[in-house]
Amino acid sequence: MTPKPSLSSWISTPRPNPASRLRLFCFPYAGGGASIFYTWPGTLPPDVELCPVQLPGREARLAEPPYRDMMELVARLGEVLEPHMDRPFAFFGHSNGAIMSFELARLLRRQGRRMPLHLFLSGRAAPHVPLSHPPVHELPEPAFSDALRRLQGTPEEILANAEIMALITPLLRADFSLAETYACAPEEPLDVPVTAYGGDADPDVTPEDVEGWSRYTRADFDSRIFPGGHFFLNTQRAMVLAELARNLAAVTARAARA
């Protein structure tokens, strides 16, 4: 029997901050792991504790099977993150991670639990917007590699390496399945402020798609479009983090009053 992962395997905190006013849970994009957030703490407000979420099937959890169903994953996240929600918190998610953040907030509301003070939803069209391309998670090779190449998130040297692709393709297919089989159930808008980020050259998410998140909150909504494609989070990291730090300063001020 495969041992059950410890609770700590889900959270990877690069710089613990017991005195923080706010925890920022960060959820990765397809194929990404917690390490994509490891350089962030030095640029965020000092009273924010960064808590990247490490999903099964990648990095230190490579041997574990990845989730293929978004709502099953969200239900599990609701369980394992609960002990870490003992102080004010916010969510940041990019692409797949944006849906995880949004659906986890809705799960917390259904369960009558403490809610995030803010949602930062990045690189993902609002849930009512249809996918801009046919599903890719079941494409045969080499069509699947061609789809990865179009999204520009996988370096060409990785796509050309058969051994590495054999290792990561099951994870990538599972992560694309999370997004492509997801359906947003009708619910009332959240009473949580939302900030949505997008890239002006993202082939799959237009600025209008980003603005569409406004219908999912009754609280404040704001959006920001950065230069770059789907992975502007990486290519414009300094700009994104400066904006996020500015936004978080306002959230931590609210956390002090929470």
Query: Catalytic site residues?
Result: 95
C-alpha 140/C-alpha 156 separation (Å) is 18
E strand or H helix at 45: none
Work out whether the CA dihedral 37, 43, 46, 48 comes out positive or negative: negative
C-alpha 10/C-alpha 40 separation (Å) is 18
Residue 2 DSSP label: P
β-pairing verdict for 22-27 and 89-94? parallel
C-alpha 130/C-alpha 134 separation (Å) is 10
Residue 240 DSSP label: H
**Closest C-alpha to 210, from 146, 82, 122:** 122
In the numeric block, the tokens 């992560």 are attached to: 175
CA dihedral of residues 235, 178, 16, 223 (deg, nearest 10): 50
